[in-house]
């Protein structure tokens, strides 16, 4: 049984509450995709697979940028992820 508690009283506030829930669900999904892509790169780096890490990195960069554009994460956090992953791949040799 799902207990639904709404504090919004006026119709516009109810609508905003519905929209907020939809946006939250979408953001959760997008954040999960972002984390999965980063984990793929990290996993390849830990296995010393430079080719796999490079391929995963190239696939992850557009997604990281897109999440920063959509404000799922901050642009500086996106830049930090890309830089650290790139440096880790370069350190493989």
In a domain, 1, yes or no: no
pLDDT digits (tens, 9 = 90+) for 44-87: 999 999 999 999 999 999 999 999 999 999 999 999 999 999 99
As a whole-number percent, the residues of the chain with pLDDT over 70 amount to 94
**Is there a domain that residue 8 lies in?**
no
Residue 4 lies in a domain: no
Rounded CA gap, 85 and 93, in Å?
A: 14
- Number of domain units in the chain: 1
Domain hosting 57: range is 13-90
CA angle 79, 20, 81 (to 5 degrees): 10
Give the Cα separation of 82 and 57 in Å (integer): 8
Q: Is residue 72 part of a domain?
A: yes
Residue 78 lies in a domain: yes
48, part of any domain: yes
Does the pLDDT of residue 4 top 80, yes or no? no
Domain at 32, CATH number: 1.20.58.110
Domain contains 40: yes
H/E stretch holding 28 reads helix 11-46
């Amino acid at each position: 049984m799902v207990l639904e508690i709404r504090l919004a009283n006026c119709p516009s506030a109810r609508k905003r509450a519905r929209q907020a829930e939809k946006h939250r669900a979408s953001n959760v999904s997008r954040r999960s995709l972002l984390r999965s892509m980063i984990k793929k790169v990290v996993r390849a780096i830990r296995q010393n697979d430079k080719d796999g890490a490079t391929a995963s990195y190239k696939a992850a960069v557009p997604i990281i940028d897109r999440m920063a554009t959509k404000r799922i994460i901050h642009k500086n956090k996106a830049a930090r992820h890309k830089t650290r992953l790139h440096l880790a791949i370069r350190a493989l040799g």
